[in-house]
């Protein structure tokens, strides 16, 4: 596979390049249409299947835990899932807690919402940057996973302050984000360079996992904890590694439209080249023992204000 010569330059140069680049013709998928959204992953049946696999991968990595924060959910508690997607985390949680625990999900795109759900589970369209005013001091636990591809740098502090506002005193937030991924081979290295350029061009925060502890503190959270997990990725690691590979390579396949609409960002010249690159990278992960996807879970508490 030939990869187009990398284009270097400042963020201003990148923005200028992106605005002038001619989109590369390809077969597009459905994406969210929420006003102002920078989300770079699709919203279709294939993505729904991927999200189901991703949920299994992440829960397994966390030792079969849905909740990492030190809280036991009891009747009367309220739980919020920000960026709920297909609602799969809430559906799984509903099977493990009392039906008197109230479950709420919010997402900018309702296309993947489940058609059936338990009576104690509610879903609505909305953005994490402006949660409903009536949710102030309501939730005992707020969960958010993998919004690395959705939130702009300037939006992260806003979202964390909104989460803090909506937590009940003593409540917990848990945030799961990707930290690092891929092999050290040429396909993976070039791909990480491409993603850095893509994220920069969309004002997304690719290193959000590193910055989360500081941002949580700045949003008035206390008792901030970080747990890191390393997920083996590739055929060399058996079925677990195949699942991790399939999920995250399909994440990158899902970013094809924003990349090609930006003219390939200096890395690819056609849809066929991009697809082959993803195939080559998957093979590289299979053949490179030790390849991992690293994630972290940050959890923190809204401590009661002393009188």
pLDDT, tens digit, 9 for 90 and up, residues 14-52: 443 444 579 999 988 888 877 777 788 888 899 999 999
pLDDT of 20: 54
Q: Look up tokens 């993505």; give the residue.
A: 47
Domains annotated for the chain, with CATH where assigned, are 11-301 (3.40.50.150)
Token duo for residue 288:
């490179």
pTM (whole model) above 0.85: yes
Residue 212, exposed/middle/buried by CB under 10 A (0-12, 13-18, 19+)? buried
pLDDT of 65: 98
Q: Are 76 and 171 in contact (CB under 8 A)?
A: no
pLDDT of 139: 99
pLDDT of 40: 81
Q: How would DSSP label each residue in 133-157?
A: GGGTT-EEEEEEE--TTT-BTTHHH
Residue 302, exposed/middle/buried by CB under 10 A (0-12, 13-18, 19+)? buried
| Residues in the chain where the model's pLDDT stays below 50 | 1-19, 307
């Amino acid at each position: 596979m030939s990869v187009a010569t990398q284009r270097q330059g400042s963020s201003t140069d990148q923005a200028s390049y992106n605005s002038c680049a001619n989109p590369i013709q390809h077969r597009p998928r459905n994406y969210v249409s929420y006003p102002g959204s920078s989300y770079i992953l699709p919203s279709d049946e294939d993505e729904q299947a991927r999200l189901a696999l991703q949920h299994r991968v992440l829960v397994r990595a966390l030792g079969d835990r849905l909740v990492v924060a030190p809280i036991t959910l009891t009747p009367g508690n309220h739980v919020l899932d920000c960026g709920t997607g297909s609602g799969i985390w809430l559906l799984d949680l509903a099977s493990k807690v009392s039906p008197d625990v109230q479950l709420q999900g919010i997402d900018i795109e309702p296309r993947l919402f489940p058609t059936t759900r338990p009576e104690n589970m509610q879903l609505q369209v909305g953005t994490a940057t402006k949660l409903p005013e009536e949710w102030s001091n309501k939730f005992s636990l707020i969960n958010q996973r993998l919004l690395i591809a959705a939130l702009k740098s300037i939006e992260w502090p806003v979202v964390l302050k909104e989460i803090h506002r909506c937590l009940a005193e003593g409540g917990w937030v848990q945030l799961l984000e990707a930290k690092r991924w891929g092999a050290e081979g040429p396909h993976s290295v070039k791909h990480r360079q491409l993603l850095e350029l893509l994220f920069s061009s969309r004002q997304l925060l690719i290193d959000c996992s590193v910055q989360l502890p500081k941002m949580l503190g700045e949003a008035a959270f206390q008792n901030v904890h970080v747990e890191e997990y390393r997920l083996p990725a590739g055929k060399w690691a058996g079925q677990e590694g195949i699942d991790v590979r399939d999920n995250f390579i399909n994440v990158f396949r899902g970013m094809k439209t924003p990349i090609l609409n930006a003219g390939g960002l200096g890395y690819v010249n056609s849809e066929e080249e991009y697809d082959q690159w993803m195939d080559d990278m998957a093979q590289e992960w299979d053949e490179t023992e030790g390849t991992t996807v690293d994630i972290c879970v940050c959890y923190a508490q809204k401590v009661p204000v002393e009188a």
